[in-house]
Amino acid sequence: MKKTQANLSRLELEIIHPLWKLKQATIREIREALPEASRPEYTTVQTIIYRLEEKGAVERVKKIGNAHVFAPSISRKSTVGALVEDLIRRLGGTAEPVMAHLVESGKVGLKELRQLEALLQKTKGGRKE
């Protein structure tokens, strides 16, 4: 998987997510892996996959009959990292508002904070104050 960065829309992120789990899949398999309640039409998934291919986020790896098999060219980790970096940049360059929101909304608790603290210790204290 390349380290290419792609600026992905919300729908592109929704479509590539199951592909990260599946590693390789046809458009039909990707569509079937999406939540049934909000599953887009086949042609919509196809259009988004082709758009992701143009952006370099996915690539065709083989063809089975008439179906192309796609694989992600960008990693989930690098994509999430780019999104978080962009969000922090938009919020003035500090992660404090993001962290405060996560704690206040209950999305991050003591367990996760302890895991983050351990990660900071592991990475030599994180950034310097």
Give residue-wise pLDDT tens across range 104-125: 999 989 999 899 889 888 887 5
CA triplet 119, 98, 37: central angle to 5 degrees?
A: 100
- Mean pLDDT over each residue of the chain, to the nearest integer: 90
pTM here? 0.76
Report the C-alpha gap between 99 and 65 in whole angstroms.
Answer: 48
Bridge partners, 4 (sequence order): none
**DSSP assigned state of 73:** S
CATH 1.10.10.10 fits 10-72, yes or no: yes
Q: Are 58 and 73 in contact (CB under 8 A)?
A: yes
Domain ranges of the chain: 10-72, 76-122
Average pLDDT over residues 11-15: 95
Length of the chain equals 129
